[in-house]
Amino acid sequence: MNREQFGFFLKKLRTAKENGLDVDSVVKEHENENVYFYNDSCIKKILASEKNIALTTDLINASLNLLGADRVAHPKLVNPFIPGELGYRNVEPDLLLTNEREGGYPRDRISIEVQHESNMVYRNRVVLYVSRLISNMVRKNDPPVLENLNLISFQFTDAYPWSVSRNYRHTVQLRNQEQLLYYDRQTITIVEVNKFFAHADTFADDRSRLAQWLRAIDTLNRESDFGEFANDPVFKMLQSEVKLSNFSSRYLMTVDMSDFDKSMAVFSKQEQIARKMLARNMSPEEVAEVTDIPLYLVHEIKKDMELAEA
C-alpha cells in the first residue's frame, strides 16, 4: 500500500471497531497486501526486530555508504521491538542501535528517522534528536569522549532544491567556513526519497545499494512486480516482513500520528498559508502576524522559496 491507501485501510479498521464489527476480519481481507513501509509504527516493527537485524544492517550500510572494513558488522538494538500484539513503542527516534568497533575505536550509535511533511521545523527536530543522543553518551562528571553518531533521515521533502543540488543523499557534518572538517564523529545523512523518484531518469544508472533499497521499498509500497529483487536474500526478507499478515489488528489499531506529528501537521497548514502570502509579495512581518509563525521562520520559508525558484 502507498501512504494514502494505508491511511484509508487504518480508517476502515477504526470504523469497523466503532461499529462493533470484527476488526480481525478486516485485517484478514488485506493480509496479502503490504503495509506502507515508511509509516513510523511499521518501520519500527520491521527494522527494530531482532530477527530482522540483517535487514536493518544492510539498509544502514547502504544509507551511510559503508564498505569493506567500515561496514556495520556487530549491531545491537537499543530500543528493540518486543514481539507481542502491541510490541514495544518508544518516543525516541524510530530506530536506534549501536555497533562495536575493533581496535579500540569508538563504537557507532545509529538512528533512523522518517519525515513526510514539508516544513521548516523538521530541521530543528533532526538537530534535537542529535543533541539528545549526544547528551546520553556521557555520564555526569565523566570525560566527554563521544561515540560515532550517525542519524539517517529519510525525507519526503527536499532538503536542497534540485536547482541547488542534484544529489539525493547528503552528508551533513561540522565544518568551518573553508569547508574543512572540524569533527568527524557526528553525521546527519539525509536521503531525499521524492527527489530520487521525481528525477528517475537522472538516477536510472545508479546501481548503488541505497538506490536498490529505495526502488525495492517503492515497488513493495506500490504492490508492483518484485521479480527484479526476488533473488536478493535481503530484499526477499523485506518482501516477507512488509506483509500485513505480520501485523495484528490490535497493533494496527495503535498506528497513528504522534502528538508531535499532529502539531507538525498544524504548522504545515500555517506554512502553506505563509507561502501563498509571500508569493503575493506580502512582507515577512505581515505573514508572521497573520500566521503566528515566528518571524525568523518566515524568513527561512521565504529563502527556501527563492532557492526553489532559482
Tell how far CA 75 is from the center of its chain: 19
Q: Among all chains, which residue has been given the C-alpha cell 508569493?
A: 279
Please report, for the chain, the start and end positions of each structural domain, with discontinuous segments joined by +. Answer: 3-256, 258-310
Q: Rg of the chain over CA atoms, in angstroms? A: 21
What is the model's pLDDT at position 267? 66
Task: Return the pLDDT at 83.
Answer: 64
Q: Which residues pair with 108 in a beta bridge?
A: 99, 148
- Taking only the tens place, the pLDDT of each residue in 50-70 is 999 999 999 999 999 999 999
Mean pLDDT for the chain? 87
Is the CB of residue 125 less than 8 Å from the CB of residue 258?
A: no
The number of helices, as runs of H, and strands, as runs of E, in the chain is 12, 6
- Per residue in 99-134, pLDDT (tens digit) is 999 887 889 999 999 988 765 667 888 888 888 888
Strands 148-155 and 108-115: parallel
Alpha-carbon span 27 to 23, nearest angstrom: 7
Question: C-alpha 298: how far from its chain's center?
Answer: 25
Please give the pLDDT value at position 308: 77
Strands 95-99 and 75-77: what pairing? antiparallel
Q: What is the pLDDT of residue 85?
A: 46
User: Mean of the pLDDT values across residues 76-98?
Assistant: 68
Q: Give tens-digit pLDDT for 249-294.
A: 888 887 764 444 555 556 677 888 999 999 999 999 999 899 888 7
Instruction: Tell me whether residue 175 is exposed, middle or buried, using C-beta atoms within 10 angstroms of its C-beta: 0 to 12, 13 to 18, 19 or more.
Output: exposed
Residue 221 predicted with pLDDT over 70: yes
Pairing of strands 148-155, 181-192: parallel
State residue 115's pLDDT score.
87
The DSSP code sequence of 37-56 is TTSHHHHHHHHT-GGGHHHH
